[in-house]
Amino acid sequence: MTTIISAGILMAFALVLFCLIKWWNVRNVGPTPVHLFTFIAILFTSGLDVGLIMFPLAWDFPLYADTASEPAYAFTNPLALEFGFWGFLIWGFYFLTTFYFCVIEPRVKFFEIGLVKLINNIVIIGTCAFTGALFLIYLPYYATFMGDGETVIPAFYVITFLVILFAAFSSTDIKYVRILSVGSTGLFFALILGMWAYAGMGLGEFASTAGNIGGYFANIHKFILPLTDYHEFYLFWWFAWSIMIGQFTSRFVGGLKTWQVLAALLVFPSIPLGVWFSVLYYYHLNSIETTLLINVSMVVVGIIFVINSFDSLIRLYTDNLNLTTKRFGTIPYVVGNAVVLFALTLAFQSQWLQIQWIGTVVIGIYIACIAYIVLMKRREVMAIDSSPEDRDLDFHKIETVH
């Protein structure tokens, strides 16, 4: 598996460089363009999930600090490692797919091929379920007010099903997706400020803690290929998400040039990630116990992140497969999606399914797409000089979420 993910990463970053050089100044315009803040909010909340909230304190920081057991992490500090697993360079995957679906796919239509469409939507459905499984598995560590802090009790299954059910309903109208994306971004910042205030961390202490992120940029080259099996898991996870996030978020790009899309995806999501991880790392370094209010707040924000991830992806695969409310009605649509995704969530929780398998399939789709373009659409692609939506865009009609 290490060979597969390493080859996939090198291929993806080579494609990023090619697209950047070839189409540096091409404006990227999606069919439903929005302003930059809304686009970043949709990208941030769709492209991240509950792991952002629940992994660092419960699992990641203690693991990265134990260099006796994992000497591969000894070259830098746990905060730099956490940032490297979630931020900056890794968002290049999302740039690649966002650019592809905005500029290239409308000419190529590779994802309209029957077999490709089927496989891609199986990937989307499977990754949705993986998100649900992560939420279910890690919920006990934060909802200690409902259990013993380790065991998945029946109430957690009920909560997970209700979250999926709500996300299925939210996906029935794209306006709900946008509202939730912007709203959850605000709640995430509120959570950061609340935990910052509770920790009593001054600006000087924050700056000192956040300075550890410099260990990532000083060693950025070491994060390209897998450091450990756990890092490999993360990379497969990002690959599994990459196509569907690009396919969804490309709809909302509002006229940024290619280099601006890359800069926006590398920088804007990394800022709140860096602040969030720095606050959590301060808790870790100072062994600050989280209160009931903090745990409840983290669970609530985690739930909203799960809903954001689910509703955008449910909307994507149901549109792709014509499994819409218009065709089936709202109730069958909502209940059907919820039941199927909950069943697959249980399959991931039992480890009957693994995200590494889905990531491998996605790498295969990348390779098949490149081969298809080279063999069938090379002239059309090399002649691209604008986004298909660019010529028809009326910027006075760009939507704004108030």
* Tokens of residue 205, six digits: 């202490």
Query: Which position has the token pair 């496989």?
Result: 119
Nearest-angstrom CA–CA distance, 334 and 329: 9
3-class SS of residue 255:
strand
3-class SS of residue 117:
helix
Of 322, 324, 10, which is closest to residue 171 (Cα–Cα)? 324
Give the strand pairing for 27-29 and 254-257.
antiparallel
Domain ranges in the chain are 23-391
Residue-level length of the chain:
402
Read off the amino acid at residue 11.
M
Q: Are 65 and 137 in contact (CB under 8 A)?
A: no
CB contact set of 47 (below 8 Å; sequence gap of 6+): 91, 94, 241, 245, 249, 269
pLDDT tens-digit map of 66-99: 999 999 999 999 999 999 999 899 999 999 999 9
pLDDT tens-digit map of 316-331: 888 888 888 888 888 9
pLDDT tens-digit map of 166-215: 888 888 877 776 777 777 778 888 999 999 999 999 999 999 999 999 99
Terminal C-alpha separation, the chain: 46
pLDDT tens-digit map of 111-169: 999 899 999 988 888 887 888 888 888 788 777 777 776 788 888 899 889 988 988 88
| Rg of the chain taking only CA atoms, in angstroms | 21
pTM score, whole prediction: 0.84
Of 90, 92, 397, which is closest to residue 255 (Cα–Cα)? 397
pLDDT of residue 394: 45
Where does residue 8 rank: exposed (0-12), middle (13-18), buried (19+ CB within 10 A)? buried
How is residue 222 annotated by DSSP? Answer: G
CB contact set of 351 (below 8 Å; sequence gap of 6+): none
Of 85, 50, 48, 87, which is closest to residue 64 (Cα–Cα)? 85
